[in-house]
Amino acid sequence: MSATTTTLYGVAATLVQVVLLGLGGPLLVGVMAKVKARAEGRVGAPVVQPLRDLRKLLTKERLHARHASVVLPLAPMVILASTVVAGAISPLVSTHPLLGSSADILVIVYLLLTGSAAAALAGLDAGTAFGGMGSSRAMTIGALAEPALLVAVIALSIQSGTSNLPSIMSSTLTHPDWVFGPSRLLALGALLIVVIAETGRIPVDNPATHLELTMVHEAMILEYAGPELALFSLGEAMRLGLLFSLVANLFLPWGIMTDHTLLSLLLGTVALVAKTLLVALGVALIEVRSAKLRLFRLPELLAGGFVLSVLAVVTGLVTR
């Protein structure tokens, strides 16, 4: 296998990943809304509704709040850009995307957190009450979720002896018994809690609410309209897709592309879609079954996630 082919397939995989996230992210949001609607006995909007919304928003004119600074138009771009970079280098379809060697798990985490920080700043920027409230809540949740996230990351890297995501995935493929070991399962529990918190799903935040008392994420984007809202929403949807597919790949790595043939690229794509849908289905069912927690009960949930991740580290150390 020549170096050129390797690079070529790397580029192909990266392209597929970005396109998949860009289209699949909004679709994933639609699928989850549909699943929830069905589970609740409603018909629900079509799955492509988020894409249609994006298209509509993109044709509208740009409107800015009177006191907004340059942060307001910049924030959606930062969110989108950071998510695209993270999605491009993460091992989603292939374990060897372009620049996969720099896909350290910490890099991915902090790329995504850059997006969160940008969103919080955007919420503050217009200087309205709701935006600030949303930002402060989102930052509180983020600060509580971050320790759990980092410790869970450590747990994952202890087992494989590396914090490079593609290497973690390929070593998991060679040791399938890890997946059902207690360390990995505990880390999965912790990561699920963190992902739910970071993507603003029930029981942490309700994406469908606009109630002043409870909204978190919706409060931050209250001042957005038109193309900027479209960018913002697209970025958030891609983030959701990226996080779900990363969780899916970490715990069900099978099907990911490890060699360089067209068939495995196709297989990897199909497998990724299937696995991510599985995770989305799981999260949607959790959402249906649970009620949103009151804000001051959130620390309990996230502390639980933290303990699970510490447990994952300790059992990882113990059973290594």
Is position 143 an interface residue for other proteins (rule: CB under 8 A)?
Answer: no
- HEC states along 120-137? HHHHHHCCCHHHHHHHHH
Q: How far is the CB of 182 from other proteins (least distance, A)?
A: 3
Of the two residues 29 and 311, which places its CB atom closer to other proteins in the complex? Answer: 311
Is position 318 an interface residue for other proteins (rule: CB under 8 A)?
Answer: yes
Q: How far is the CB of 320 from other proteins (least distance, A)?
A: 9
Stretch that binds other proteins, among 80-88, 250-258, 283-291, 304-312 (CB under 8 A): 304-312
Of the two residues 52 and 320, which places its CB atom closer to other proteins in the complex? Answer: 320
Of the two residues 105 and 148, which places its CB atom closer to other proteins in the complex? Answer: 148
Q: How far is the CB of 152 from other proteins (least distance, A)?
A: 12
Coil, helix or strand for 257?
A: strand
Of the two residues 111 and 145, which places its CB atom closer to other proteins in the complex? Answer: 145
- Please report, as a single letter, which amino acid is at residue 288: V
Over the window 270 to 299, marking each residue x when it contacts other proteins by CB under 8 A and - when it does not, the resulting string is -----------------------------x
Contact assessment for residue 309 and residue 197, using Cβ atoms and an 8 Å cutoff: no
DSSP of 44-108, one letter per residue?
A: ---TTHHHHHHHHHHTSPP---TT--THHHHHHHHHHHHHHHHHHHS-SSBSS-TTGGG-BHHHH
Neighbour-count burial of 208, counting CB atoms closer than 10 A to its CB (0-12 exposed, 13-18 middle, 19+ buried): exposed
Radius of gyration of the chain (CA): 19
User: In degrees to the nearest 10, what's the CA dihedral of 234, 240, 245, 250?
Assistant: 140
Site residues (CB under 8 A) for other proteins, limited to 177-206: 177, 180-183, 185-186
Q: Which two tokens stand for residue 16?
A: 């597929």
Of the two residues 224 and 306, which places its CB atom closer to other proteins in the complex? Answer: 306
Q: By the criterion CB under 8 A, which residues form the site for other proteins? A: 177, 180-183, 185-186, 299-300, 302-304, 306-308, 310-311, 314-315, 317-319
